[in-house]
Structure 1
Amino acid sequence: MDTAKRYCEVADLARSAEELCTLRHHLHQHPELAYEELETAALVAQKLEQWGYQVTTGVGQTGVVGSLTVGEGTRSIGIRADMDALPIHEQTGLPYASRRHGKMHACGHDGHTTMLLGAAKYLAETRHFSGTVHLYFQPAEEHGIKSGALSMIKDGLFERFPCDAVFGLHNHPGAPAGKFLFRRGPLQAAGDNVYITIKGNGGHAARPHLTVDPVVVASSIVMGLQTIVARNVDPTQPAVVTVGVLQAGTANNVIPGNARLELSVRSFSPEMRALLKERITGLVHQQAASYGAEAEIDYCMGYPVVINSDRETAFAVEVAKELVGANNVEPHTDLLMGSEDFAYLLQARPGCFLRIGNGDGEDGCMVHNPAYDFNDRNLPIGAAYWARLVERFLAQP
């Protein structure tokens, strides 16, 4: 007998595709921002309780954990889905578009939550495993600074709901829907935010010699920052320094007193992270001083590097190949400069964060875009993957 045939197949969840779509569309219509996921959390908790899970709410403020133990197995597994939305005004025109002005599921967390709920129902009905599964429904992945994953960990996530390994996924625009992408070791970059205030001396635009123009200082700093990756970073090491905000002044005949810059900094190792911080702070202070201005820097260390453990990633790849075939699995995908707070979970437990294609061409609209929508074709595939992963992990001795 082929033991792999005992485990969940996509066809097992395809029968629930309409139900999953209805649920996902409901979540999409009712987005909630970081640490505001009260309705979403209540819906998740209600579903899990209905299916027989032991449910704990309020983990890390608005997080939900559903736990199910079957048989006498001693192993345990954790699966995470994020629940929060973004402060974006939706422009999809879809019949199930957001009903909340200025809030939108523009990153697919509605789909991530639905897939895990689909797996949860299937696992509760079939109970084809021996051990404990913990389903972590996490708030505030999009917060950027106050991480929902870190909040759950600080609230005793792994002490109260321990697991031998933890897994999570994110949809991936640009890859065909249903294709799984993996990478051992570093996958996604650390993301830091830098807030810079340039203090000059304002005055009349016709008398610049009596001022210290912070606009000129800020402009010089922007250009200087471009040399850090080009001239201080080993060309074989990926890194990004992006100036996303430059603000100064309110009138064309007034030289303002201050200017403001905001940076996004990405890297893949602690050493590179430290180098970028050193060079950015040094360059900004020295450039400002050279013009007679001062600089104040608030350097906020954000999410760390997502580092997948070898054994768990190899296992996750194997399960994906069984489910959708080797042609639909990329075991060594490219590094991704985007950041993800699942990194904190991987610092505490071995595991794997993977990606599932959300569509290419016209279907591949990038996340954090007002025209984005999660691809519903992924719902039964992702749910089946989580179910099979749990069954396989809790079938091992």
Structure 2
Amino acid sequence: MHNEAFSTIAARVREAAHNLYPEVAALRRHLHQHPELSYQEFQTTAFIKKYLSGLGIEAEPPLMETGVIALLRGEGAPPSGERRTVALRADIDALPLQEENGHDFCSTVERCMHACGHDMHTAMLLGAATVLSGMKDALNGDVLLIFQPAEEKAPGGAKPLIEAGLLKKYKPSAIFAQHCFPSVKSGSIAMCKGGFMAAADELYVTIHGQGGHASAPHKTRDPILASAHIITALQHLVSRVAPPHESAVLSIASISGGHATNIIPGNVTMMGTMRTMNEELRALLHKKFEKTVRQVADAFDVEAEVEIRRGYPVLYNDPAMTDLAWEAGKEYLGDGNVRQSEPVMTAEDFAYYLQECPGSFWQLGTGLPDSAPGNLLHSPTFDPDEHALETGMGMMSYLALRFLAG
């Protein structure tokens, strides 16, 4: 397909996405009002199935209790005679957070909110399914629609879907997805080749000492004092173990122990996160973390229980697929609306797909110049610009068409 044909296809997608925007905004608002936590997305699953059925797209046999897999078959002729499939993914779960926005479509569920944009992601993929359903004549292959549950809670939904045979059964040649980012201006996208998002591991430490009266600390083995020194020692790991050119984060985000002013407790618990951008450094910091905790604990005559729960791996964007998405983005959105992104230390289970299938994951701009300071991911006042829905569904639709054009 030559450039003139791509230009015509892009124009068709823009028109379709523009006309569909009010409907997709309404879908997003419905999803926002009815959020569901990870592995509990039963109503969301039924809503997606019903909408797709209205397009003539029936859900495939389920691989998990929640979530939807569907296949949209194109009617265009494959350029090489070999039919290919491209996968598009959206995550569908919400966060355990009480919304503090003032919209008339705020969450109706107590302590549950789409504070990470998954309602936007789901609505945009439904929008893309609608756009592509109306352009089957230009669709030279098939589109695998993945509405994935449980991105927010490890082990996530991507890994069990892959283990259940999702990619082996449908054999996509590439996979793409996007994520709302309020730091990127609405109407634009940002991309990064190679390592884009960090591996994220959960850290759990329990310090066992000997409690007693706070007036006689010499008769105790104080787990609070030991914990303070452990936290201080851990803060040196990144600066003294990780090479200066390697990104890494280690944060102790919770500490709990004691309940009175005059009692030294017997135990203290701590929790935190470790973020790394390559597997070698990840393994080294795991080893150093456990060794540091145990050695400091031993110095204070207390005992330490250490657990490191491995989370999502590094999200690595295939360079060739990212180049393709970059060119498609410029063709569809214009040169000024596609920019380079730096790697970020957030994590995403889309990384599992990219370990098995070439693809790319990009930032979808949802921010405005006058966005409120609290318009942040995982914030009770996260408030994405809904006009990004038009950008996102159009970009995914055009990229699918562009990829299958050969």
Using structure 2 for the length normalisation, give the TM-score. 0.95
Out of 232-241 and 53-62, give the one that drifted further.
53-62
Aligned to 2:271: 262
Deviations 1:234-253 (A, max 9, x none): 11111000010011101111
Q: 1:280 aligns with which of 289, 292, 317?
A: 289
Residue segments in structure 2 that go unaligned for 5+ positions in a row: none
Matched, 1:353 2:361: yes
The corresponding residue for 2:145 is: 135
Q: Distance in 1 between matches of 2:236 and 2:368?
A: 34
Residue of structure 1 equivalent to 2:253: 244
Tell me which residue corresponds to 1:233.
Answer: 242
Are 2:312 and 1:303 aligned?
Answer: yes
Distance in 2, Cα, partners of 1:91 & 1:57: 38
In structure 2, what is the Cα distance between the partners aligned to 1:373 and 1:263?
27
Match for 1:56: what amino acid? E
Q: Mark the runs of 5 or more structure 1 residues left unpaired by the alignment.
A: none
User: Hey, what does 1:171 align to over in structure 2?
Assistant: 180
Q: C-alpha separation between the residues in 1 aligned to 2:402 and 2:248?
A: 37
Residue 338 of structure 1: aligned partner: 346
Match of 1:2 in 2: 4
Tell me the amino acid that sits aligned with residue 168 of structure 1.
Answer: A
Report deviation, 1:46. 1.1
User: What secondary structure is seen at the aligned counterpart in 2 of 1:142?
Assistant: coil
Q: For residues 46 and 193 of structure 1, what CA distance do their matches in structure 2 show?
A: 37
- Residue by residue over 1:112-135, the C-alpha shift from the partner in whole angstroms, topping out at 9 and shown as x without a partner, is 000110010111122121111100
1:361 CA displacement? 4.1
Structure 1 residue 360 displacement after superposition: 4.2
1:137 Cα deviation (Å)?
Answer: 0.3
1:326 matched residue in structure 2: 335
For 2:92 and 2:86, the matched residues in 1 are separated by 20
The one-character-per-residue Cα deviations of 1:61-119 (angstroms, maximum 9, x if unpaired) are 31211101223531110000000000000000110000001000000000000011001
Corresponding position of 1:66:
70
Q: Take 2:389 and 2:177, find their aligned partners in 1: how far apart are those partners? A: 15
2:91 to 82, 88, 100: 82
Q: 1:166 touches 1:346 (CA, 8 Å); kept in 2? A: yes
Aligned counterparts of 1:58 and 1:293: Cα–Cα separation in 2: 49
- Corresponding position of 1:35: 39
Equivalent residue for 1:193? 202
Q: Secondary structure at the match of 2:184?
A: coil
Verify the 8 A CA contact 1:197 1:260 in the aligned structure 2: yes
Could you tell me which of 385, 389, 392 is aligned with 2:399?
389
Shift of 1:394: 1.1
Does residue 389 of structure 2 align to residue 379 of structure 1?
yes
Kept in 2, the 8 Å contact 1:57–1:63? The answer is no
Deviates more, 1:36-45 or 1:8-17: 8-17
CA separation of 1:361 and 1:279: change in aligned 2, threshold 3 A: farther
Question: Is 1:63–1:152's contact at 8 Å kept on the other side of the alignment?
Answer: no
Structure 1 distance, partners of 2:160, 2:328, is 30
C-alpha contact 2:368 2:385 (8 A) present in aligned 1: no
Higher mean alpha-carbon deviation, 109-118 vs 4-13, is at 4-13
Any idea what the Cα deviations from partners look like across 1:180-230, whole Å, max 9, x if unmatched? Answer: 111110000000001000000001111111100000010001100111011
Contact preservation (8 Å) 1:77, 1:133:
yes
The reply on whether 1:124 has 2:133 as its aligned counterpart is yes
* Pair 1:224 & 2:233 matched: yes
SS of corresponding position for 1:93: coil
- Give yes or no for the alignment of 1:367 onto 2:369: no
Deviation at 1:375, TM superposition (A): 1.9
Q: How many residue pairs were aligned?
A: 394
Q: Which stretch has the larger CA shift, 18-27 or 151-160?
A: 151-160
Question: Deviation per CA, 1:263-306, whole angstroms, max 9, x where unpaired?
Answer: 10000000110111011100000000000000001110100000
Q: State whether residues 60 and 153 of structure 1, in contact with CA within 8 Å, keep that contact through their aligned partners in structure 2.
A: no
Stretches (4+) displaced over 4 A: none
| C-alpha separation in 1, matches of 2:21 and 2:130 | 13
Corresponding residue for residue 292 of structure 1:
301
Letter in 1 for 2:25: C
Q: Which one of 15, 20, 27 corresponds to residue 19 of structure 2?
A: 15
- The percent of aligned pairs where both chains have the same amino acid is 37
Q: Distance in 1 between matches of 2:150 and 2:157?
A: 4
Secondary structure of 2:324's aligned partner: helix
Between 1:302-311 and 1:374-383, the stretch displaced more is 374-383
Report the residue type matching 2:140 in the other structure. Answer: S
Deviation for aligned residue 1:374 = 2.7
Contact kept, 8 Å, 1:107 with 1:374, in 2: the verdict is no
8 Å contact from structure 1 (residues 115, 379) kept in 2: yes
- Structure 2 partner of 1:207: 216
Displacement of 1:314 in angstroms is 0.4
Residues 243 and 315 (structure 1), Cα distance of their counterparts in 2 relative to 1, 3 Å cut: same
2: CA distance, partners of 1:251 / 1:368: 32
